[in-house]
Structure 1
């Protein structure tokens, strides 16, 4: 795989997780999934990504031919019950999985400091806190795009962010998703996220 294709693949993987978790998945995203228009890896990447996309393929097959609006409404309800609540069984925020930080305190401040150091900030209109899974993946996407455009310092920012943030909590998040979520889009996206962190950790280790 050449460098351009590798960057494209990295961003496509991250975009998939962001679209699944940013909020209730948009109907246009659901339509692309159901119609098979979302590009899936053609070869094995690593165990979590492979398992996640095998689950996506099974979910797509199970929903083939159904009205997109119906599938979208089911996902909206599932997302709300699983991740929003009231009293959701899974809270996909970094500080929820860490015992060394407080949710309304140093934990959020540390995540925001990582963003600020790299020149990135959470979109002002986004309602979730800075340590929400989709926000952390959006920051990772920004760093990958910076690397694509020759900003080598972005590899260092990614190394720190993986070590101090994503790698610290993603395994616990996925374990909780396995316990609470049905096999389908959201568990699949969590597995892909875990695989992305594993893949990026190995890649960045070669660059820093």
Structure 2
């Protein structure tokens, strides 16, 4: 594989996580929504992975549904739906790993185990998210950093990613996606859940090939 091809694969891996973070870290902002609606964020023409492909289809549905509506109206709608589904009061979907784990308590030992994974890799979560460290956006940011470290030549990051996928991400991402589909028809949030699951599946295959 050429250096150009390798770089392109790494860039794709990073962009998938950037998308997940932009969708779920907070209500999608006007800059991100504008880039989506105007086509500045390009989607692949070829099939990659079934769940990722479904996510890209949901992005297209989002574009078709909102392309002729004023940007501020779309952003306001997304903020209201994001608040209803993920923030509450009494949100139907809590985007935290520990809410989906039968073997741990919400914001209890499970959170400590997630934070131990971060510490083992020498990573400190950003302080500006305002969420517990098992939130989807924080875990996606950690995964993104591990990929970036690999891109920068830090091979131990592959091992940390392998463990984090097996011990954390694979234990809750599918259930989270099912809940998103059950609780909202909004194609952007469905796309975010699709891409999250698809990216984890894709990363699992990538690190298996490397190790």
Q: What TM-score does the superposition give when structure 2 sets the normalisation length?
A: 0.96
Q: 1:172 is matched with which residue: 164, 170, 175? A: 175
Per the TM alignment, residue 131 of structure 1 is displaced from its structure 2 partner at its CA by 0.4
Distance 1:177 1:139 in 2: 22
1:196 is the counterpart of 2:169: no
Q: 1:91 is matched with which residue: 75, 94, 97? A: 94
Q: Which runs of 5+ in 1 are unaligned?
A: none
Please list the CA deviations of residues 18-42 of structure 1 after superposition, one character each: whole Å capped at 9, or x if unmatched. Answer: 1000111111001111111112122
Alignment of 1:1-208 (within 5 A): 2-208=5-211
Q: Which runs of 5+ in 2 are unaligned?
A: none
Per the TM alignment, residue 9 of structure 1 is displaced from its structure 2 partner at its CA by 0.6
After TM superposition, which residue ranges in structure 1, 4 or more long, deviate above 6 angstroms?
none
- For the aligned residue pairs, the C-alpha RMSD in angstroms reads 1.0
Q: How many residues align?
A: 208
Q: What TM-score does the superposition give when structure 1 sets the normalisation length?
A: 0.97
Please list the CA deviations of residues 149-174 of structure 1 after superposition, one character each: whole Å capped at 9, or x if unmatched. Answer: 00000000000000000111001111
Please list the CA deviations of residues 187-207 of structure 1 after superposition, one character each: whole Å capped at 9, or x if unmatched. Answer: 111011110011000110111
